């Protein structure tokens, strides 16, 4: 009777799964949408104060292992004082920051220039390095760095590079010995280009004081937002940031044991984070932004993504003019399909996907955007000149909207991963290219992530509950124990016939309910 029970169980599971998918696709649960909207509304309602100009003296640390384009895995520990700074960066071979490879220590000066005209709420600074040192922690890095210094940095006095020994790659003392000809001393040299090292992130700064509610009361969190790093590694030294990296925080911030550990680390005892157990990417469900997010060229937005049945997805992106996401500019709604193409070669815990957007709707939410949309008289962005404030227009029939740089069908090669922490699920999608290259080309696939989204709603619970059962029994379908020989008038034959009739009845019920 084993095979018959399996057959019946699979039919029930299939029926439940089908109805869950259809219900999710055709009759999206209002309470799930409300839950997602409430999650986003609460995250944007957090009290945020940004001092102008920003004051950021003191120590700041990463709140975890950071993934930079390349990919690079790094932990930052910075200290600012009056007009000077010390930046300590620990580099790792893995995405968990458990295997440290080398350390960079940079010192310099920094001064305010003016408020950023390109990134609202940010301030532009000018910095000058005075000293940069590196310490390799592995033999491989020591050999690599030593070869670079001997071959291409003849102006330095470095003859050999050894593990756990620091060496200079940049020197420009603030107080130099004067010479009669007014030139620099022999101490001055710059070999940072060999290591593609820059501190251009200090060129754009924003400091926020966030007051978040918790069970134990209000929690104050200060964040230091520094400029983003170019997604094109070859352009990193020339790149001027226009949005932000993941923020640095104060070491004593509540609920961040990692921050305190990083603050106590040094070049002699670098921070080593524990390895995490990574799970397979699980997309189905609703995902929402946790805060107001930033993108290149001073864009601010929130995202709401839904992954439905039959490899379909839909997304809502709302763009704002301010860093708190209070002044809406426009929103776009997209629909399309996606497919997993394999494991990521860059990030072991991630997978590579291809997303194809086939439908697009646009809603102008302020007069400036409305005027911009109506200024276009062509035929490649909806019904020209007919845009109205707050009214959505479907631009699928015009193959997208050239004004926003979206042409349908729109294909993107993506990198995606999901993580689970404290009973919450997080979705990471690829960082947008800082040079706006097309992600329709696979070589432009991201190697780092945007801010994570959090799972919301509950319309996929049925599928999630029956999936383990389905996997458990479907794995035994081809085993010998599931085979029932049908011979003559045996009892096995009668049991099988009964099971088949029951299966047909269940299947009929499933089809009828589906209609």
Residue 18 has pLDDT above 80, yes or no: no
User: Does 425 score more than 50 pLDDT?
Assistant: yes
Q: Which candidate, 201, 154, 169, places its Cα nearest to that of 102?
A: 169
| 216 three-state secondary structure | coil
Positive or negative, the Cα torsion across 325, 326, 329, 332? positive
pLDDT band at residue 182, thresholds of 50, 70 and 90?
A: low
Q: Please tell me the predicted confidence (pLDDT) of residue 175.
A: 64
Q: Say whether pLDDT at 489 is over 90.
A: no
User: What are the tens digits of pLDDT across the range 476-488?
Assistant: 333 332 322 323 3
Q: What is the mean pLDDT of residues 128-137?
A: 97
pLDDT band at 254 (very low <50, low <70, confident <90, very high): confident
Binned at pLDDT 50, 70 and 90, residue 365 comes out as: very high
Averaged pLDDT score across all residues of the chain: 84
**Distance of alpha carbon 348 from alpha carbon 358, whole angstroms:** 30
CB atoms within 10 A of CB 176: 13
Report the pLDDT value the prediction gives residue 458, as an integer from 0 to 100: 64
User: Distances from the Cα of 93 to the Cαs of 78, 140, 172, 275, in angstroms?
Assistant: 21, 12, 30, 12
Looking at per-residue pLDDT, the higher value among 253 and 391 belongs to 391
Structure tokens at 279: 């799970």
pLDDT over 80 at 371, yes or no: yes
Residue 463 or residue 362, greater confidence: 362
Is residue 515 over pLDDT 80?
no
Distance, in Å, from the CA atom of 195 to the CA atom of 133, rounded to the nearest integer, reads 11
How far apart, in whole angstroms, are the C-alpha atoms of residue 175 and residue 187?
11
Q: Which two structure tokens, joined as six digits, stand for 213?
A: 């509610």
Is residue 8 over pLDDT 80?
no
Q: Does 180 score more than 80 pLDDT?
A: no
Determine the pLDDT at residue 251.
94
% of the chain exceeding 70 in pLDDT: 79
Res 31 pLDDT > 80: no
Nearest to 17 by CA among 279, 425, 308: 308
Whether the pLDDT of residue 181 is over 70: the answer is: no
Those residues whose C-beta lies under 8 Å from the C-beta of residue 387, and which sit 6 or more positions away, are 364, 370, 373, 374, 393
- Predicted confidence (pLDDT) at residue 324 exceeds the cutoff of 80: yes
pTM, full prediction:
0.81
Closest CA to 287 of 270, 267, 257, 307: 307
pLDDT digits (tens, 9 = 90+) for 206-232: 999 998 776 667 788 999 999 999 999
Spans of all domains in the chain: 1-28+459-515, 48-263, 278-455
Q: What is the band of 496 on the pLDDT scale with cuts at 50, 70, 90?
A: very low
Residue 254 token pair:
């509540």
Lowest mean pLDDT among 242-251, 364-373, 458-467: 458-467
SS3 per residue for 133-194: EEEECCHHHHHHHHHHHHHHCCCCCCCCCCCCCCEEEEECCCCCCCCCCCCCCCCCEECHHH
């Amino acid at each position: 009777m084993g095979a018959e029970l399996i057959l019946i169980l699979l039919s029930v599971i299939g029926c439940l799964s089908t109805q869950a998918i259809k219900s999710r696709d055709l009759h999206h649960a209002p309470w799930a949408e409300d839950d997602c909207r409430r999650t986003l509304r609460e995250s944007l309602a957090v009290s945020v104060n940004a001092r102008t100009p920003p004051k950021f003296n003191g120590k700041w640390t990463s709140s975890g292992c950071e993934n930079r384009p390349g990919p690079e895995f790094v932990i930052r520990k910075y200290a600012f004082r009056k007009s000077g700074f010390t930046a300590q960066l620990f580099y790792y071979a893995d995405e968990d920051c458990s295997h440290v490879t080398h350390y960079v220590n940079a010192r310099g000066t920094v001064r305010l220039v003016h408020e950023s005209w390109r990134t609202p709420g940010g301030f532009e600074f000018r910095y000058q390095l005075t000293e940069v040192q590196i310490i390799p922690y592995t033999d491989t890095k020591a050999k690599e760095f030593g070869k670079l210094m001997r071959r291409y940095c003849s102006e330095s006095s470095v003859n050999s590079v050894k593990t756990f020994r620091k060496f200079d790659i940049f020197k420009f003392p603030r107080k130099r010995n004067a010479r009669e000809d007014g030139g620099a001393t022999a101490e001055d040299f710059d070999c940072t280009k060999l290591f593609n090292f820059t501190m251009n992130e200090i060129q754009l700064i924003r400091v926020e004081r966030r007051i978040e509610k918790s069970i134990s009361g209000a929690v104050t969190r200060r964040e230091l937002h520094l400029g983003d790093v170019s997604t094109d590694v070859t352009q990193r030294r020339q790149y001027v940031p226009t949005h932000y990296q993941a923020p640095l925080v104060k070491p004593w911030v509540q609920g961040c044991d990692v921050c305190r550990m990083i603050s106590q680390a040094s070049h002699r005892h670098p921070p080593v984070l524990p390895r995490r157990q990574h799970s397979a990417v699980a997309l189905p469900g609703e995902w929402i932004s946790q805060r107001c997010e930033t993108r290149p060229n001073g864009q601010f937005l929130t995202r709401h993504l839904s992954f439905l049945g039959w490899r379909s997805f839909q997304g809502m992106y709302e763009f704002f003019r301010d860093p708190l996401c209070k002044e809406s500019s426009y929103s776009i709604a997209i629909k399309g399909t996606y497919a997993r193409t394999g494991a990521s070669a860059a990030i072991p815990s991630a997978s590579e996907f291809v997303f194809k957007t086939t439908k697009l709707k646009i809603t102008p939410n302020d007069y400036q955007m409305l005027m911009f949309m109506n200024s276009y008289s062509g035929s490649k962005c909806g019904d020209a000149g007919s845009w109205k404030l707050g009214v959505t227009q479907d631009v699928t029939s015009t193959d997208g909207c050239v004004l926003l740089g979206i042409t349908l069908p729109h294909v993107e090669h993506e990198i995606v991963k999901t993580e689970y922490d404290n009973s919450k699920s997080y979705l990471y999608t690829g960082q947008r290219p800082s040079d706006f290259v097309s992600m329709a080309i696979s070589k432009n696939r991201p190697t780092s992530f945007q801010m994570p989204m959090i799972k919301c709603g509950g319309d996929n619970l049925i599928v999630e509950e029956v999936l383990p059962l389905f996997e458990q029994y479907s794995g035994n379908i081809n085993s010998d124990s599931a085979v029932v020989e049908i011979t003559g008038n045996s009892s096995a034959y009668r049991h099988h016939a009964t099971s088949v009739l029951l299966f047909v009845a269940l299947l009929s019920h499933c089809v009828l309910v589906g209609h």
